[in-house]
Structure 1
Amino acid sequence: MKVKWPSPVLLVLVSLILGIGLFEISVRILKVHHNINPFWRYHPIIGWSQVPNLRYEYLLNGEKVRVVFNSKGFHDVEHSLEKPLGTRRIVLVGDSFSEALQVNLEETFFRRLEKKLNQRGTDKWEVINLGVGDFGTTQEWVAMTQLGLKYSPDVVICQIFPLNDICNNTIELCDLCKSYNDHYRPYFVISNGELRLTSAQPLRNLLRRYFAAYGVVEHAILKGKGRKLETDFERRYTEGIQKMGLAPLGPSLYTYVPDQEQPEVVAKGWRVTEKILEKMNSWCKERNIQFIPVVIPFEACVGAKNWRSFASGSSPPMIQDYPEKRLGRLFDRLGLPAVLLKEPFERNIDLVLPYVGGHFNAEGHRVTAEAIYSKMVEIGLVTTKT
């Protein structure tokens, strides 16, 4: 009897599947990770996080800064998932202002806030930082709902930086926000009046999430492109802002332009951002969690003199406090106890300026902690010691 062997095509196909499967198993067993950059690692839920347990030191303006990431990959101390008896918890979501790599951990506003609450208030408080650099509000929503809820928070603080949050929240502006991470980030889009979660690369994002080997290979290919990748990125940015009518200001600065002068894509980004914040508030309210938005001012917007120097002759003209006024109207409508940092920063302008690499110096963190603490006392979240 003649034996019928499988066709060569079938053998090749089976071998290929087995090879891919073995590669996937090896990657998972060996825990091979691919870092988006030296500090951020791909994260299947939030897009990226810092590298867990990474520690390093560097000099900033002649001063040594020690950076410590916890086992979850956040710039913070360790926190148990189970809330200690008698403790009230705050979960912080935000971008690089919350990541706060420009100061030592004990100088950050969230560690200062925890210390202040425990020194001045009658309750025991714990502040848990889930902030990661380059995050947009969509990622902060995902971090809050998928990671933050596990800590059983009593309060959620959402740190907002309008200068780039609007861009980072707009899928049409993918690759135009001066970020190499846009293809990894989740986006919300408005569909039939409701927010729908998606990504700029749905298929590739699916593969990244469920097949570790795909992410490793993709990263190796992109890394191999080196300088060409940077050149292509700059070309897409230049072509994109021209095509969308975002020259000469670029998508970030157009967030400061009056409504009637805004390109439609920026106006859309504002609408998406407002809808996300409204969704975050509703989600928190359903769970009896107090939601507190904190709005960070762009350095050039702190003080009239700085603004004149920065924005004089801008075409179209920009409005110094456009984000604060627009977000303020939203927060008033929602009845939210927001913290708008522009005013307290201007009262302390000689201390909080200059920023460090576009971010808070130690005094900026101190003023931020004090402003949040004052708001919490004002709305009755904190009972001060007599």
Structure 2
Amino acid sequence: MKTLGNFLGRLLLLGLGLLLPLLALEIGVRVLNLAPPPEPNPAIWQPHPLMGWWHIPYSGGLFHSQYNEFEAEVRINARGLRDREIGYDNSGGALRILSLADSFGEALQVNLEQTYHKQLEGLLVDSLSRPVEVINGGVGGWGTDQEAIFYVAEGFRYEPEIVLLAFFVRNDTVNNYGPLELASVSGSQQKEFFSLSPQGELIPPAVKEEAKAKAEAKEVEIRDSNSQPLTQPQPSKPDHNPVLLPLADTLWQWSALYRLVVPYLRDMPPVVQKIGPSGLLGGEGVVRAGHPTTPVHFFVYQSPPDEEFEAAWTLTEAIIKRLRDEVESHGSRLAVVIIGAPEQVYPVEGERLLAANPALQKLTLDLELPNRRLGTFLAAEQIPYLDLLPIFRQAASDPATPPLHFRHDGHWTVTGHRLAAEAIHKFLLAELGEQLK
């Protein structure tokens, strides 16, 4: 009996030894406000038959980072733009610039007036003797393909004089090319893709009805609801149920310590591969566990590009040419802004990229290859372009410069948006000055 009592006593001490430090950490995280809030970010996207997904008009709210890096007010206007209310007509005779972009343009990390669109707008108003409207057409996750479709279906109605296409070199090429995009998201298809004919002609993607008919012919289930993207095939069921997912949801709701730690664990591929399928890292962890250990996007730096990336670049160039032709058919001009990734801007981020992805260490990488490839193409097509990479590198090398990117989120800070706006302002005045007056 005495032995059993000793065992239970030691077990109690062990339990207290584990629980008390966790309780102390939980209290500390709460007092110091280190964790993000438990509430999810507002739902602002919905399925769209042409563009895959699109903003929900009048939606929005307060967005925050899972790493507690930022908090921003986001509102979607009546026409589905993350912008002020703006109509198609331009009765005030303003210079209109339509900005096409992905999440760097959507910019959920900063308030609207802090985005490069609105900072650019203010700079141009100060430089020109006319009103200016820079219209934000950015949508998170979009590729050049969806941006081109948006212009043809909707963007031209705003009658912009300039169409400013932002191109993020890390993933836009992948986003445009079906085989690579599907490989990057474990086959979860959320849109239809452009393709090229054997003669090199650009073939537009199917719209919703055509995609559904094609899927039915292949016996693929299409889900069409507020919670699932259109034209998304039914994913294969996992070999096991994430039994700890309910526990993870409860911990996320009630434990600040859990909310602080888990986002960092999700960024560690070995941890996600081992623990993610159980559900302990939440639903996002389950999804990430099914993704490639080395994200497909990073192979864009492989030199020379492999066959798949060469095909992706060829398709991307065809999409940009088609967009240029559409823009010019409306009497407007297309200009391109090339956005560099953090691993290109900061040497330490490039080192972290290699350290975290052993598969890349076996390859010949050239972090400037995408910029050179795109710049050469744009120059040959006589499309004005600005490469922000050298500008951001120079600014980042100055110790006095505040951070240009959020460390974990990877998008621009207010300072990054300001730097981009100033550079684009100078570029537009130099390249298109007469047209702007």
What TM bracket, shorter-length normalisation?
A: 0.7 to 0.9
What's the secondary structure of 1:132's corresponding residue?
coil
| Offset from partner CA, 1:217-240 (integer Å, 9 cap, x none) | 9949999999859979668755xx
1:315 and 2:362 aligned:
yes
Q: Matched residues in 2 for 1:268 and 1:173: separation?
A: 10
Q: Which moved more, 1:183-192 or 1:128-137?
A: 183-192
The corresponding residue for 1:77 is: 84
Indicate the residue corresponding to 2:251 in structure 1.
none
Q: Give the structure with higher Rg (CA).
A: 2
Query: In 1, distance between residues paired with 2:374 and 2:183?
Result: 23
**Contact 1:311 1:318 (8 Å CA) reproduced:** no
Q: Distance in 1 between matches of 2:229 and 2:367?
A: 43
1:346 alignment partner AA: R
TM-score normalised by length of structure 2: 0.68
Aligned residue type for 2:315: V
Please, which of 252, 267, 280 is the counterpart of residue 310 of structure 2? 267
**Residues 353-386 of structure 1 deviation map (CA, whole Å, 9 limit, x = unaligned):** 445612111111111111111111101336999x
Q: 2: distance between equivalents of 1:237 and 1:62?
A: 25
Structure 2 unaligned regions, length at least 5: 1-41, 216-221, 243-276, 278-285
Structure 2: distance between partners of 1:356 and 1:83? 40
* Distance in 2 of aligned mates of 1:45 and 1:224: 20
Q: Is the 8 A contact 1:134 1:179 kept in 2?
A: no
Q: Distance in 2 between matches of 1:356 and 1:382?
A: 41
**Using the alignment, how far apart are the partners of 1:105 and 1:64 within structure 2?**
12
- 2:144 pairs, out of 124, 137, 140, with 137
Q: Secondary structure at the match of 2:377?
A: helix
Counterpart of 1:124 in structure 2 is 131
SS of 2:170's equivalent in the other structure is helix
| Residue 309 of structure 1: how far off its partner (Å) | 4.5
Pairwise mapping of residues 52-131 of structure 1 onto structure 2 (< 5 A)? 52-60=57-65, 61=68, 64-131=71-138
How has the CA–CA distance of structure 1 residues 279 and 203 changed in structure 2, closer, same or farther, with 3 Å as cutoff?
A: closer
Question: What's the secondary structure of 1:52's corresponding residue?
Answer: coil
Separation (CA, whole Å) in 2 of partners of 1:359 and 1:88: 28
Shift of 1:281: 1.8
Identity in percent: 25
Choose 228-237 or 167-176, whichever is displaced more. 228-237
The answer to whether structure 1 residue 371 and structure 2 residue 423 are counterparts is yes
Residue in 2 aligned with 1:328? 375
C-alpha distance 73-195 of structure 1, shift in aligned 2 (>3 A): same
2:258 equivalent to 1:215: no
**Native 8 Å contact 2:49 2:207 kept in 1:** no
* Higher mean displacement: 135-144 or 306-315: 306-315
How much has 1:314 moved relative to structure 2? Answer: 1.9
RMSD: 3.5
Instruction: Tell me, in whole angstroms, the C-alpha distance in 2 between the residues paired with 1:110 and 1:355.
Output: 22
**Deviation, structure 1 residue 82:** 0.8
Q: For 2:209 and 2:145, how far apart are their aligned partners in 1?
A: 16
Kindly provide the CA deviation profile for residues 154-196 of structure 1, in whole angstroms up to 9, marking residues without a partner as x: 000111112111111111234322388x623231101121100
1:85 offset after TM fit, Å?
Answer: 3.8
Query: How many residues were matched structurally?
Result: 333
Matches within 5 A, 1:274-285: 274-285=317-328
Distance 2:227 2:134 in 1: 36
Partner AA of 1:79 in structure 2: I
Over 3 Å counting, the alpha-carbon distance change for 1:145 and 1:225 in structure 2 is: closer
Aligned with 1:341 (options 375, 388, 408): 388
Matched residue, 2:167: 160
CA distance in 2, matches of 1:172, 1:224: 17
Q: Report the alpha carbon displacement of residue 284 of structure 1 after superposing the two structures with TM.
A: 2.0
Could you state the TM-score of these two structures normalised by the residue count of structure 1? 0.76
Match of 1:380 in 2: 432
Structure 1 residues 224, 343: CA separation in 2 closer, same or farther (over 3 Å shift)? closer
The answer (yes or no) to whether the contact 1:355–1:361 under 8 Å persists in 2 is no
> What is the aligned counterpart of 1:51 among 39, 56, 71?
56
> Partners in 1 of 2:114 and 2:237 — Cα distance?
37
Counterpart check, 1:190 vs 2:196: yes
Q: 1:144 to 1:223 in 2, by over 3 A?
A: closer
TM-fit CA distance, 1:307: 2.6
Shift of 1:216: 2.9
